[in-house]
């Protein structure tokens, strides 16, 4: 049997290799990681070392962003007591109000500092305000609420009415 040859015209094509997603490129990896860092950046991200919270934090640019002071609430025999840490504030910058069964504590801090020397000028300004609102518990005599401020701590005393003081009853625990 004889072999027959057939000649077909051959074309040489120049093809550029297709970009493959599965090929590891150090620069592409670095670019994606930097973009991810910027996308995931959050003002309070350092508080969540194991990932972002599932709730949305307010933006620092938002008017709703407020810094609230640390507050302790305590119930005593004859009164409730609210203690708020307000370092750096004066009593003239603190307002305590009672309205519609709600107690509101407001404060505002303004600090300005200027320092001049021969070769520099430093000017710093810090402003901030806060507001905390608490619902008054049943049995509080709203007319006798008192607030005192000393050493950066505000104490608000909410006296109980005589009926509220007497309403407590101790119940004996029996074995079954």
85-139 tens-digit pLDDT: 988 788 899 999 999 889 999 988 888 888 888 888 888 887 788 888 888 888 8
140 is a domain residue? yes
46 is a domain residue? yes
Would you say 145 and 98 are in contact if contact means Cβ atoms under 8 Å apart? yes
Mean predicted confidence (pLDDT) in 160-172: 79
**90: domain range?**
71-166
Would you say 152 and 87 are in contact if contact means Cβ atoms under 8 Å apart? yes
10 is a domain residue? no
Specify the pLDDT at position 69.
80
Share of the chain above pLDDT 90, in %: 17
Considering the domain architecture, whether residues 97 and 119 belong to the same structural domain is answered as yes
**Quick check: helix, strand or coil at residue 2?**
coil
Specify the pLDDT at position 95.
93
Angle of CA points 93, 96, 98, to nearest 5°? 155
Q: What is the mean pLDDT of the chain?
A: 76
Considering the domain architecture, whether residues 35 and 112 belong to the same structural domain is answered as no
Considering the domain architecture, whether residues 79 and 148 belong to the same structural domain is answered as yes
Give the containing element (helix H, strand E) for 33: helix 26-40
Specify the pLDDT at position 63.
46
Is the pLDDT confidence value at 49 over 70?
A: no
Considering the domain architecture, whether residues 139 and 99 belong to the same structural domain is answered as yes
141 is a domain residue? yes
Considering the domain architecture, whether residues 77 and 53 belong to the same structural domain is answered as no
**Strand ranges inside the chain, DSSP E:** 71-75, 79-85, 94-99, 102-116, 121-135, 146-150, 153-159
Is the pLDDT confidence value at 155 over 80?
A: yes
Specify the pLDDT at position 149.
93
Specify the pLDDT at position 76.
86
Mean predicted confidence (pLDDT) in 13-29: 65
Share of the chain above pLDDT 70, in %: 69
Mean predicted confidence (pLDDT) in 70-95: 88
How many domains are there within the chain? 2
Specify the pLDDT at position 68.
73
1 is a domain residue? no
Burial class (CB in 10 A: 0-12, 13-18, 19+), 89: buried
Give the residue, 65 or 103, on which the prediction is more confident. Answer: 103
Considering the domain architecture, whether residues 145 and 88 belong to the same structural domain is answered as yes
Would you say 88 and 109 are in contact if contact means Cβ atoms under 8 Å apart? yes
């Amino acid at each position: 049997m004889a072999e027959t040859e057939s000649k077909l015209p051959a074309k040489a094509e120049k093809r550029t290799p297709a970009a493959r997603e599965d090929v590891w490129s150090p620069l592409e990896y670095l670019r994606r990681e930097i973009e991810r860092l910027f996308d995931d950046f959050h003002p309070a991200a350092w508080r969540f070392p194991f990932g972002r919270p599932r709730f949305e934090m307010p933006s620092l640019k938002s008017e709703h962003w407020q810094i609230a002071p640390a507050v302790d609430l305590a119930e005593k025999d004859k009164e409730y007591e609210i203690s708020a840490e307000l370092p750096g504030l004066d009593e003239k910058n603190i307002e305590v109000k009672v309205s519609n069964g709600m107690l509101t504590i407001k404060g505002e801090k303004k600090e300005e500092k200027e320092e001049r020397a021969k070769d520099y000028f430093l000017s710093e300004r810090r402003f901030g305000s806060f507001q905390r609102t608490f619902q008054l518990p049943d049995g509080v005599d709203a007319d006798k609420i008192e607030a005192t401020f000393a050493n950066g701590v505000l104490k608000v005393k909410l006296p109980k009415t005589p009926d509220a003081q007497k309403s407590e009853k101790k119940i004996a625990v029996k074995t079954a």
